[in-house]
Amino acid sequence: MDAVKPPVKSQVRAAVDYALVLRNLEKRIVENRDTDSILRIVRRPEFWQRLSPEDALRCARLLQAAGDVATALAVLEGLTSRAPDFTDAWRERVALLEVLGKNAVSGGSVEAASHEGLGSRQEEKGETVKSPPWEEGDLPEAKFREEDFSQVESPFHEWRRREAALARYMALFQGREDCFARQWVDREKASQGYVPVRRPLEAADVMEHLQGRKTYGIYLLQQDSRVRLGVIDADLNLSLRSSEAIGKKRDLVRREQRYLLSRLTEMGAARHLPCLVEFSGGKGFHFWFFLEEPLPAGQVRRVLQSLAGAIQADLSCFQLEVFPKQDRLEGKGLGNLVKLPLGIHRLTGRPSYFLHTRDRSLDGQLAVLDKARRIPVRIFENQDTGGGKAPVVVHPRREKWAADYPELAVLEERCAALGQILVECRHHRTLTVRAEKILLGTVGHLPRAKILLHHVFQALPEYNPHYVDYQLSRLRGTPLGCRKIHRLLGMDRSFCDFGPNVAYGHPLRHWPEWSEPETAVKAERVENLREALDVLKEALRIVERFLDRGSPRAGEGER
C-alpha cells in the first residue's frame, strides 16, 4: 500500500490564498475601487476550477458585479457540470442566460448586458467591456436549450416566478423615466450620498439592488412634474441616534415606534390611503403610497402632508417628512430621491425589509408586493386638507369598536399618551405598571369607566376582572394631569392647549361630554403636593410597623 503523503505546505497556503483573493475582490467592489489587478487572477481557469461549489458561486457573482459577464458565465457552466445537484448555481446560470438571450433578440451583446444590469465598473469609468470569446450566432443559450433544459426545469420555473415578482416591483416603484441614482459611502468620514445614473432603470439593475451588490434610488418626479407614488419618511430624531442617547429613552422610543407604525397605517386606511411599510435599513421607516395614475406632485404632497401632520404632534422621537418635497421640477434639477426598498443601506450595512411579513427572504419580501393596492385619483381629489380640528377617524374595520367605545376612540385620537398606551394593549398585549396607573387615573373617572377598562384590560394575558374592580373601587380625587402623565412616560413634547382659562389640563378634557366635578383642584401642582404628602404618610406607616416588629413584646421586661 502506498504511504499517504502529507499535504504540501504550498497547497494548504493556496487554499487560503483563494479565499483571500475573493475577499479582496469583494472589498474593492463594495468600496468602488480598482479591481483590474485582482480580476487578472480570478479570470484564470486554474483559479476558479479549484474552488469549492459555494466559493465558485460567490466568485461568479463577484465577476458579474465587476462587469465580467463572460468569465462569470464560464464559471457557472463549469460549476453546473461538476456539481449538477447545486440548485443555486443553476438559478444563477439561468438568470444570466435570460439576460443574454434578451440582448441577443434585441440585437445586443454581452457587452450590452454588462451595461444594462450587472453594475460594471467599466461603465462608471467610461471603459469598453471586451466581447465574449464566442462568435455571434453561437450564443451559449442555444447550446443550453438543447442539452441542459431538462436538468433545470424546476429552477427555470422558479426564475420565471421571480421574474414576474420583479416586474411587479418595477411597476410599483416608478420614478423619473430617464435617470436613477446610485448610493455611495465613505466609511472613514461616516458619510453617504447618491450620484445620478443618466439612463433608464432596467430589470437587471433592480436585481443587482435586491441582491445587495449595489444600492439604488429613484427620483420621484417624472419629467412632467407628475408622480406615480408618494412616501412618508419617518426618521429617528438626530439627538437620539447615539447609543448613549437612545439608551436613556429606550422605552419611550420603542413605545412611540409601535404607536407610529400602527396609528399612521390605521389613519391612512381610514382616509382610503393604504400603504406598505418598510424598515429603511438606516434610521427609520418608509410608508409607500402607490397611485393608479400619475398625478401632479403638489397634489400628492399636500394630501400626504395632511396625513403626516395629523400624527406629527403626537411624536417626540420621530420626525416625519413627505416625498415629493417639491411641486414641480425647476431648471436642470432632478428633484428629491428615495432609496428603493429591499436593498442594503451602504453606510449601516443593514438591509431594508417590509414589515408585513416575518419572512425576510427575497421571495417572501417580494410576495408582499402582491398585497399592495393603488390609490384611485378621486381619493386625492376629494381629500380635505383644510384647517380646523379634524374629526375622529378610525380604520374601517374598527368602526364598530369606535361606535361601542367612543370615549376610547376620541382619547386615542386626540391624546398622544393615551393613544400610545391603548395601541400597546391592543396590538402588543403589554402594559407597564405606570401605564396601568395612567389608564386607571384617567379613564377610571369616566361615567362608563368599568365597561371601558374591562374592555381594554381583557386583551392582556394577565387580565383579572376582580383586580380591575378592586382598583376602580380605590379610585379617588381627580384625573391625572398632563404634566404627571408625561413625566411617568418620559415624554418630551408640548401639552395640549385647552384654552387660557384651564389651569389643570388632563386627557379627559378631550371628551366632549366631560364635565369637571365640583371638587376639582385648581392647579396640578396642588394635586402633586397632596399626592407626595400621601406617599410620605404611607412611608411613615411602613417604618412604624417595621419598628414595632423589632421592639420587645408587651409585658416582657428587660433581662
Share of the chain above pLDDT 70, in %: 77
CB 61 within 8 A of CB 29: no
What are the DSSP E strand ranges found in 362-471? 374-375
- Phi, psi for residue 183 in degrees, rounded to 5: -80, 135
- Do 259 and 134 share a domain, yes or no? no
User: 464 CB contacts (<8 Å, ≥6 apart)?
Assistant: none
Q: Are residues 136 and 176 in the same domain?
A: no
Q: Which of 349, 382, 415 is the last residue of a domain?
A: 382
Choose among 236, 171, 235, 246: nearest CA to 203. Answer: 171
If one counts the domains in the chain, the total is: 3
Name the strand (E) or helix (H) holding 35.
Answer: none
**Torsion of the alpha carbons at 19, 25, 30 and 34, rounded to the nearest 10:** 160
Helix (H) or strand (E) holding 454: helix 449-457
Q: For residue 499, is it within any domain?
A: yes
Domain CATH number, residue 282? 3.90.920.20
Q: What integer best gives the mean pLDDT of the chain?
A: 77
Mark whether 423 and 366 lie in a shared domain. no
Domain range enclosing 209: 172-240+248-382
142 pLDDT tier (thresholds 50, 70, 90) = very low
Secondary structure string (H, E, C) spanning 115-163: HHHCCCHHHHHCCCCCCCCCCCCCCHHHHHHHHCHHHHHHHHHHHHHHH
Write the pLDDT tens digit of every residue in 24-67.
Answer: 888 888 777 788 888 888 888 888 888 888 889 988 988 888 88
Last residue of a domain, one of 353, 382, 411: 382
Cell numbers standing for residue 236: 429617528
289 and 407 housed in the same domain = no
Residue 356 dihedral angles phi and psi, to the nearest 5°? -85, -5
Does residue 304 surpass a pLDDT of 90? Answer: yes
Q: Is the pLDDT of residue 422 over 60?
A: yes
Over the stretch 194-253, which tens digit does the pLDDT of each residue have? 999 999 999 889 989 998 889 999 999 999 999 999 999 999 888 777 777 777 778 888
Q: What is the pLDDT of residues 440-491, one digit of tens each?
A: 888 888 888 888 888 888 888 888 888 888 888 888 888 888 888 888 887 7
For 48, residues 6+ apart whose C-beta sits below 8 A from its C-beta are 42, 56, 59, 75, 78
Query: How does pLDDT run across 398-410, given as a tens digit for each residue?
Result: 778 888 888 888 8
Number of H helices, E strands in the chain: 24, 10
Q: What is the DSSP string of 58-114?
A: HHHHHHHHHT-HHHHHHHHHHHHHH-TT-HHHHHHHHHHHHHHHHHHHTT--HHHHH
Rounded to whole angstroms, how far apart are CA atoms 341 and 410? 35
Kindly give, in sequence order, each residue whose CB lies less than 8 Å from that of residue 436, ignoring residues fewer than 6 positions away: none
pLDDT at 154: 54
